[in-house]
Amino acid sequence: MNFGFTEEQNLLKDQVQRFMKEACPMNRVREISKSDSTFDQALWQQTAELGWLGLTIPENFGGLGLKWIDLIVVLEAAAEGLGPLPIASQALASTAILACASEEQKASWLPAMASGEAVVTLGLYDEANWIDPAAVTASAKSTDDGFVLQGKKPFVNDALAANYLLLAVQGPNGLALAAVGKDQVTVTAQPTIDNTNPMASVDIDGVEISASDLLPMSDEQLAFLTDCGGVATTAEMVGAGTAILAMTNGYAKERIQFGKPIGQYQGVKHRLADMFVDLESYRSLCYFAAWAVYDSPEELAKAVSMAKGYASDAFAQIGIDGVGLHGAIGFTADYDAQLYLKRSKWARPMYGDSDYHMDRIATLGGL
Amino acid sequence: MDFDYTPDEQSFRQEVRSFIAENLPPKEQRGKNFLGTWLEKVRAKGWVGFAWPKEFGGSDGGLIEQAILKEEMSLAKAPPLGTSMMGLAWVGPGIMEYGTEEQKKKFIPDILDSKVTWCTGYSEPNHGSDLAAIQCKAELQGDHYLVNGQKIWTTGAPWSQWIILLTRTDFNVTSKHDGITCFLVPMDAPGVEVRPIQNMAGDKHFAEIFFTDVQVPVENRLGAEGEGWKVTVSALANERSSIGEVTQLQAKLDDLKTLVKNSKRQGKPASEDPKIRRTVAKFEIKISAMKYNGLRYLTKQIKGEPLTSETSVNKLHRASLEIEMDDFAIELSGQAGLQLRGGDEAVDNGSWSKGALNWPNVVIGGGTPNIQRNIIAERILGQPKD
Ligand SMILES: Cc1cc2nc3c(=O)[nH]c(=O)nc-3n(C[C@H](O)[C@H](O)[C@H](O)COP(=O)(O)OP(=O)(O)OC[C@H]3O[C@@H](n4cnc5c(N)ncnc54)[C@H](O)[C@@H]3O)c2cc1C
pLDDT in tens, A320-364: 999 999 999 999 999 999 999 999 999 999 999 999 999 999 999
Q: Is B26 exposed, middle or buried (0-12, 13-18, 19+ CB in 10 A)?
A: exposed
Supply the CATH number for residue A269's domain: 1.20.140.10
Residues 52-91 of B with CB under 8 A from A: 64
Is B93 within the bounds of a domain? no
Between chains, do B313 and A281 touch, taking CB under 8 Å as contact?
yes
Q: Domain ends where: A114, A130, A148? A: A114
Supply the CATH number for residue B65's domain: 1.10.540.10
The mean pLDDT value for A127-131 works out to: 90
Q: Domain ends where: B34, B55, B82? A: B82
**pLDDT tens-digit profile of A227-286?**
999 999 999 999 999 999 999 999 999 999 999 999 999 999 999 999 999 999 999 999
Residues of chain A in contact with residue B384, where contact means CB-CB under 8 angstroms, are: 253, 260-261, 263-264
- List beta partners, residue B181: B167
Name the residue among B301, B376, B118 with its Cα closest to residue A278.
Answer: B376
**Amino acid (one-letter) located at B287:** I
Q: Over pLDDT 90: what percentage of chain A?
A: 98
Q: Is B214 exposed, middle or buried (0-12, 13-18, 19+ CB in 10 A)?
A: buried
Task: Give the Cβ contact number of residue A7 at 10 Å.
Answer: 7
- The pLDDT assigned to B311 comes to 87
Is B284 within the bounds of a domain? yes
Contact A195, A38 (CB under 8 A): yes
The mean pLDDT value for A206-235 works out to: 97
Query: What DSSP line would sit under B248-263, residue for residue?
Result: HHHHHHHHHHHHHHT-
Q: Is B373 on the interface with A (CB under 8 A)?
A: yes
| Whether residue A202 is found in the same domain as residue A296 | no
- The pLDDT assigned to B243 comes to 67
Between chains, do A306 and B293 touch, taking CB under 8 Å as contact?
no
Contact A299, A292 (CB under 8 A): yes
| Whether residue B276 is found in the same domain as residue B341 | yes
Q: Is B126 on the interface with A (CB under 8 A)?
A: no
| Whether residue A175 is found in the same domain as residue A70 | no
Interface test with A, best of B246, B255, B285, B315 (most A CBs within 10 A): B285
Give the domain range for residue A293: 220-364
Give the domain range for residue B308: 243-380
| Whether residue B250 is found in the same domain as residue B327 | yes
Is A341 within the bounds of a domain? yes
Q: CA-CA distance, B385 to B371, in Å (whole number)?
A: 11
The mean pLDDT value for A186-196 works out to: 95
B120 lines ligand 1 (CB under 6 A): yes
Q: CA-CA distance, B362 to B315, in Å (whole number)?
A: 9
Q: From the list A277, A306, A309, which residue is nearest B316 (CB)?
A: A277
| Whether residue B318 is found in the same domain as residue B211 | no
- The pLDDT assigned to A31 comes to 95
| Whether residue B368 is found in the same domain as residue B250 | yes
B100 lines ligand 1 (CB under 6 A): no
Q: CA-CA distance, B122 to B120, in Å (whole number)?
A: 6
Query: C-alpha angle A35/A36/A40, rounded to 5°?
Result: 60
Cite the active site residues of B.
239
Residues 318-357 of A with CB under 8 A from B: 355, 357
Q: CA-CA distance, A284 to A279, in Å (whole number)?
A: 9
Contact A73, A9 (CB under 8 A): yes
Q: CA-CA distance, A214 to A357, in Å (whole number)?
A: 30
Supply the CATH number for residue B207's domain: 2.40.110.10
Is A2 within the bounds of a domain? no
**Amino acid (one-letter) located at B367:** G
CB contact set of B175 (below 8 Å; sequence gap of 6+):
none
Residues of chain A in contact with residue B277, where contact means CB-CB under 8 angstroms, are: 358-359, 362, 367
Q: From the list B5, B285, B288, which residue is nearest A1 (CB)?
A: B5
Number of domains in chain A: 3
Query: What DSSP character marks residue A61?
Result: G
Residues of chain B in contact with residue A355, where contact means CB-CB under 8 angstroms, are: 274, 278
Contact A244, A26 (CB under 8 A): no
| Whether residue B252 is found in the same domain as residue B368 | yes
The SS3 assignment for A109 reads helix
Ligand 1 atom nearest residue B127's Cα: 26
Is A355 within the bounds of a domain? yes
Residues of chain A in contact with residue B309, where contact means CB-CB under 8 angstroms, are: none
Q: CA-CA distance, A42 to B221, in Å (whole number)?
A: 70
Q: From the list B284, B286, B386, which residue is nearest A264 (CB)?
A: B386
Name the closest-CA residue to atom 35, ligand 1. B370
The rounded Å distance from CA B208 to ligand 1 centre is 14
| Whether residue A206 is found in the same domain as residue A246 | no
* φ, ψ at B14 (rounded to 5°): -60, -40
Name the residue among B383, B213, B240, B363 with its Cα closest to residue B307.
Answer: B240
| Whether residue B222 is found in the same domain as residue B256 | no
Name the residue among A249, A320, A234, A322 with its Cα closest to residue A283.
Answer: A234
- The pLDDT assigned to A231 comes to 98
Is A1 within the bounds of a domain? no
Q: What's the whole-model pTM score?
A: 0.96
Q: Domain ends where: B171, B201, B226? A: B226
Residues of chain B in contact with residue A241, where contact means CB-CB under 8 angstroms, are: none
Residues 1-60 of B with CB under 8 A from A: 1-5, 9
Q: Is B381 on the interface with A (CB under 8 A)?
A: yes
The rounded Å distance from CA B209 to ligand 1 centre is 17
Is B311 within the bounds of a domain? yes
- The pLDDT assigned to B7 comes to 95
- The pLDDT assigned to B323 comes to 95
* Sheet containing strand A152-157, strands side by side: A152-157, A199-203, A186-189
Query: C-alpha angle B302/B307/B311, rounded to 5°?
Result: 110
Is B100 within the bounds of a domain? no
- The pLDDT assigned to B34 comes to 95
Cα end-to-end span (Å), chain B: 39
pLDDT (tens place) for every residue of chain B, 386 residues total: 888 899 999 999 999 999 999 999 998 999 999 999 999 999 999 999 999 999 999 999 998 999 999 999 999 999 999 998 899 989 999 999 999 999 999 999 999 999 999 999 999 999 999 999 999 999 999 999 999 999 999 999 999 999 999 999 999 999 999 999 999 999 999 999 999 999 999 999 999 999 999 999 999 999 999 999 999 887 766 655 566 789 999 999 999 999 999 999 999 999 999 999 999 999 999 999 999 999 999 898 888 887 778 889 999 999 999 999 999 999 999 999 999 999 999 999 999 999 999 999 999 987 899 999 999 999 999 999 98
Cβ density class B227-265: b for 16+ within 10 Å, e for less: bbbbbbeebbebebbbbbbbbbbbebbeebbebbeebee
- The pLDDT assigned to B4 comes to 84
Q: CA-CA distance, A167 to B240, in Å (whole number)?
A: 49
**pLDDT tens-digit profile of A59-112?**
999 999 999 999 999 999 999 999 999 999 999 999 999 999 999 999 999 999
- The pLDDT assigned to B137 comes to 98
Chain B: give the shortest CA distance to residue A203, in Å. Answer: 36
| Whether residue B31 is found in the same domain as residue B151 | no
| Whether residue A20 is found in the same domain as residue A104 | yes
Supply the CATH number for residue B287's domain: 1.20.140.10
Instruction: Give the mutation target among B84, B123, B203 for probing the ligand 1 site: most ligand atoms within 8 A of CB.
Output: B123
Residues 272-291 of A with CB under 8 A from B: 272-274, 276-277, 280-282, 284-285, 287-288, 291
Name the closest-CA residue to atom 38, ligand 1. B129
Is A255 within the bounds of a domain? yes
Q: Is A4 on the interface with B (CB under 8 A)?
A: yes
B150 lines ligand 1 (CB under 6 A): no
| Whether residue A199 is found in the same domain as residue A262 | no
Between chains, do B384 and A260 touch, taking CB under 8 Å as contact?
yes
Cβ density class B275-296: b for 16+ within 10 Å, e for less: ebbbbbbbbbbbbbbbbbbbbb
Ligand 1 atom nearest residue B125's Cα: 26
The rounded Å distance from CA B70 to ligand 1 centre is 27
**How does the average pLDDT of chain A come out, rounded?**
97
- The pLDDT assigned to B233 comes to 83
Cα end-to-end span (Å), chain A: 31
Q: What stretch of H or E contains A87?
A: helix A87-100
Between chains, do B1 and A69 touch, taking CB under 8 Å as contact?
yes
**Amino acid (one-letter) located at A26:** M
Number of domains in chain B: 3
- The pLDDT assigned to A353 comes to 97
Is A256 within the bounds of a domain? yes
B248 lines ligand 1 (CB under 6 A): no
| Whether residue A128 is found in the same domain as residue A84 | no
Q: Is A306 on the interface with B (CB under 8 A)?
A: yes
| Whether residue B33 is found in the same domain as residue B71 | yes
